Amino acid sequence: MSHIALSASPSLVAFHRGAKQWSTLFPSNWRSSGTNPSLFANSNRKRLQLRFFASGKNGGNGGVVDEISETVKAHANFVWPDNKKPRVCILGGGFGGLYTALRLESLEWSEDNKPQIALVDQSDRFVFKPMLYELLSGEVDEWEIAPRFSDLLANTGVQFLKDRVKVLQPSDHLGVNGSNASTHGGTVHLESGLHIEYDWLVLALGAEAKLDVVPGATEFAIPFSTLEDARKVNNRLTILERKTFGKDYQISVAIVGCGYSGVELAATVAERLQNRGIVRAINVDTMICPTAPPGNREAALKVLSSRKVELLLGYFVNCIRKASESESSNTPKGLDFEKYILELQPAERGMQSKIIEADLVLWTVGSKPPLPHLEYSDVPFVIPLNARGQAETDETLRVKGHPRIFSLGDSSALRDSNGRILPATAQVAFQQADFTGWNLWAAINGRPLLPFRFQNLGEMMTLGRNDAAISPSFVDGLTLEGPVGHAARKIAYLMRLPTDEHRLKVGISWFTKSAIDSVSLLQSTLSKVLSGSTSRSD
């Protein structure tokens, strides 16, 4: 799911379908509201950098057209092309947000009711997070699992804004609802100073890693939930591999957490390092993937054991700190990278505390939705949140007390029939996006909304370049593992990529890579056979 920390700089990037919309989306003199005197929430004068990406004559390729830097004294309102049509603002471009936008585009609308859609996200790329691990193994290219929003939305009417959400200011709880097409449902304040007035709001902000629960984790551990995280981990592994190449040194990687993410990461990193490193996976529970089907857990244990991953189960991390020179005395001369110490405490009696050393610490436990931070300091936050910071919704995915706000994915606290909050998985967000799109259509057209019912289709996990485990829910006790599971998982994820055009491009790319690998394997096999035959004849 997508982070709310949408951009580190106050830049606004807008993508749209045609050049004709520039005059309405960004007029020559910015429109301002007399009730909001500042472009930025703190009313300070700041330089706003605008980088425009046009889509060209045919809905284009997102090429850079111009870059403008100017001093802005007053805030700017986002200008919708047509104020008479419903205005839908979607916050977050992950599975929940992007797929809701695409679902809305695919539905049949009357000309008067077809909504205008603005999608806001921190990045200019959609990230297919279940396949981030394949970036570390080199199995996929970045464009395949992280396509640009400009490409995905080129043939749609969805307008994309790269920005950071700063404040939510809903008004649909004040009893001012009028006609569905024109009622002002509230305002979203972006970090760049842009204000978006909306009729309907979709919260699909995802969650960010929660590192502040353990001293030192924020400073020394790297989470693994975004494209930037994957790049950082890959770069760090590459540096370690280069510096230790040809030396008698084992790269040490510590992974905190043995849920699905931690186990997939441990299997992938261990396969990459092979005999050049050791991977230790730490978990407070005494088993890995405690919520996984038994078949998946057993397949994972078999793979981790074969790759000599050390499992430290029943331990929690007490603190992470930088190792002193005396503590890292086993480092060969010439290796100047930092090392870290993890102090582990047993979760149960009868176990001894442990101290382990690592060259790289990866964090896969805990997350926090950003909703609690999106409020004015002097105005009470009116969106109902649970203790974890998720929005409380009814069964139609509408936020309780807010008929014009929908929430899904990590931002939602929807419960299943047993009263348990639905897990924060791509599968849940994918299904919720379909319902959110439909229920927005129903709400705009005055039709009854459908209650969401999650259908568990099974669980999948990657365990390396040619290894995976799949337990489909429709066949009790069946687990596909090894190369068969790996192929089935890739096909399943290929079918869930966001657009037909992107699926086709990725499918061709994967088929080509598979064919090349097969030819290489065949050549290698034939070479060995011929070499063996020659040896016997001699």
Q: What is the CATH number of the domain that holds 410?
A: 3.50.50.60
Q: In whole angstroms, how far apart are CA 18 and each of 12, 30, 60, 230, 523?
A: 18, 20, 8, 33, 49
Q: Which of 321, 352, 367 is the last residue of a domain?
A: 367
User: What's the structural domain count of the chain?
Assistant: 2
Position 355 in a domain = yes
In a domain, 189, yes or no: yes
* Amino acid of residue 92: G
Terminal Cα distance for the chain, rounded: 62
233 and 114 fall within a common domain:
no
- Identify how many contiguous H helices and E strands the chain contains and give both numbers: 12, 25
Structure-token match 């060259």, residue found: 359
Residue numbers of the domain that contains 438: 76-122+163-207+369-445
- The residue type found at 183 is T
Same domain for 239 and 326: yes
**Is the residue at 31 inside a domain?**
no
Q: 490 or 19: whose pLDDT is higher?
A: 490
What residues contact 50, with CB distance under 8 A and at least 6 apart? 11, 12, 26, 67, 68, 69, 70
Whether the pLDDT of residue 375 is over 50: the answer is yes
Least confident of 36-45, 106-115, 191-200, 461-470: 36-45
The candidate with the shortest Cα–Cα distance to 207, out of 404, 493, 428, is: 428
Residues in the chain: 538
Task: Please tell me the predicted confidence (pLDDT) of residue 49.
Answer: 32
Q: Are residues 203 and 236 in the same domain?
A: no
Looking at the structure, tell me whether residues 87 and 195 fall in a common domain.
yes
How far apart CA 529 and CA 527 sit, in angstroms, is 5
Q: What is the pLDDT of residue 16?
A: 37
Q: How do beta strands 186-190 and 194-198 pair? A: antiparallel
**pLDDT higher than threshold 90 for residue 72:** no
Q: How confident is the model at residue 59 (pLDDT cuts 50, 70, 90)?
A: very low
Over residues 436-450, the pLDDT tens digits come to: 999 999 999 999 999
Contact criterion met (CB below 8 Å) for 46 and 40: yes
Mean pLDDT, rounded, of the chain: 83
More confident site: 515 or 107? 107
Does residue 332 register a pLDDT over 80? no
Q: Is residue 24 part of a domain?
A: no
Residue 41 predicted with pLDDT over 50: no
Beta carbons within 8 Å of 437's beta carbon, 6+ residues apart: 99, 100, 101, 102, 103, 104, 106, 107
Q: Domain ends where: 338, 367, 396? A: 367
